[in-house]
Amino acid sequence: MDAPLAHRIAIVTGGSSGIGAACALGLAEAGATVAVIYRSDAGGGEETGRRIRDSGGRAAVIRADVSDEDQVLALFDEVRERFGTVHILVNNAGIQIDVPFIDMSLQDWSRVIAVNLTGQFLCAREAAREFCRRGVDESGSRATGNIICMSSVHQQIPWACRANYAASKGGVRMLVETLAQELAPHRIRVNAVAPGAIRTDINRDAWETEDAEQQLLKLIPYGRIGDAEDVARAVVWLASDASDYVTGHSLVVDGGMLLYPAFREGG
């Protein structure tokens, strides 16, 4: 029996490390051919591609800055040239610049919004255009295409000193819901995954030492910090027909962080 994503072509932005690399590997394990997109970490992108190929999968590794429209257009052209079309987009690329609000420069604000929100818009737009051009391919999926945007629990939880990041993720949530509403008649599904605390290099300071980890665990009722593979499994499910009736949803993967854990002791 075919793997659930056999004959599917997937693009994963920010695929050189962390959650993006885990998603790329998870999609490949489920049978998809994966275009691994990186901006600056060429070594990481090539490593993700190598791991996919070593496990018997197909992968391309492509450099692109998702905040640059011309580079996004070129990225989709290259994937079409290599593989014919695209069926799945994982809009994962993102950055974080932590600055107190009164000290935040316009550049600090604009760069995070450009990558985390505008980048998701540009990639989602090109994916939707390709899905509509191609139409439904019943041999592989009931949906015309799938767009999965990486959000965060901070689409809902305020986060001091990170107004740019929280605003970008709140924007991703509304972008997902609006696109899902608009594109559903084309049988295009659009969903988000909203991770909580995940053990990746970007937040190493929050879990690397025993003291830091214990402080972080106070915010996680389930009692462990998430792994990138926890997020990847959610992405694979959303990309497959197992979730065919799900669109416009934010799948929270956070060990209960949104459950207001401080109230376990009366608030």
Catalytic residues: 165
With a CB cutoff of 8 Å and minimum separation 6, the contacts of 172 are: 116, 117, 120, 149, 150, 151, 155, 192
Nearest CA to 61 out of 115, 15, 19 is that of 15
- Strand ordering across the sheet containing 250-253: 59-63, 33-38, 9-12, 88-91, 145-150, 188-195, 250-253
Sign of torsion over alpha carbons 230, 236, 239, 243: negative
3-state SS, residue 191: strand
Sign of torsion over alpha carbons 207, 210, 215, 220: positive
Backbone angles phi, psi at 192, to 5 degrees: -125, 155
Residue 209 CB: number of other CB atoms within 10 A?
A: 11
